[in-house]
Amino acid sequence: MSFRKIYLLFLSYSFYNKLTFIRKMHGGKVLDIGCGNHSPYTFKLVNPSVYYVGTDIDKYNIDDRDIKAADEIHFFDVDVFFEKLITDIDYKFDYIICAHLIEHLPDKDIFFRAIKNKLGPNGKCFINTPNIKSVNFPSARRTLNYYDDPTHLEMPVILPVIYDLCVKYDLKITKLNSPNRSYLSYILGFCVEPLRIIMNKNIQFTWSYWGFEDLYIIENK
């Protein structure tokens, strides 16, 4: 087992996150919406048993290793991304991952319509997004304050918005961590906080310490 895989597995057990969701999958098909930053390779390293389909608007930090790791990768134009996702991929998924995506989308409705369309019966969708309190956090490189990322929309997405869209599309929130962290990840974040201050940079477990993100697991009824 490589050091990289050991490290990723450690992160998956430190608190419930994207890697935890990936690790707990038992085969099946998974749709990764926004598969940049070498997500295909990371995904298959943690759980090679699934059929992985990545989608994005361009090859942002996607290399040959990622292309080889993925079972499929699709790139759609940003203006018609979710329409193409619905029409061009004609099968259902057991799992969908939308990691730090919804806060960039002006149209939340079509996003949830796509989730409903692509999730199979009892399929599960992972969503994480900045917590509302992050608008008051200190600024840091790699984002600690919500507005550090200029592509974030005016305000974070809050629970009532997600709840109402789930009701509209007959989806159910089965897990909510707000903020998303564990005792272990909080302590680890506390330990690295002096380094974060010196570097003025978001590092591993900084978000857990500050409670930067909310986590949702949404199931297709």
Identify the burial level of 221 via C-beta atoms within 10 angstroms of its C-beta, where 0-12 means exposed, 13-18 middle and 19 or more buried. Answer: exposed
Does pLDDT of 201 surpass 90? Answer: yes
Q: What average pLDDT does the chain have?
A: 97
Domains of the chain, earliest start first: 3-183+212-220 (3.40.50.150)
pLDDT band at 31; cut points 50, 70, 90: very high
Residue-level pLDDT at 1 = 79
In this predicted model, what pLDDT tens digit does every residue of 137-149 receive, in sequence order?
A: 999 999 999 999 9
Does pLDDT of 34 surpass 90? Answer: yes
Does pLDDT of 109 surpass 90? Answer: yes
Residue-level pLDDT at 178 = 98
Whole-prediction pTM: 0.95
Residue-level pLDDT at 100 = 97
Average pLDDT over residues 7-34: 97
- Dist. CA 173–CA 183, nearest whole Å: 23
Residue-level pLDDT at 39 = 97
In this predicted model, what pLDDT tens digit does every residue of 161-199 receive, in sequence order?
A: 999 999 999 999 999 999 999 999 999 999 999 999 999
Chain length of the chain:
221
Quickly tell me which residue has 């200190």 as its tokens: 138
Read off the tokens for 18.
């994207």
Q: Residue 82 to residues 70, 77, 124: CA-CA distances in angstroms? A: 20, 9, 18
Read off the tokens for 191.
């330990």
Give Dmax (Cα) for the chain.
49
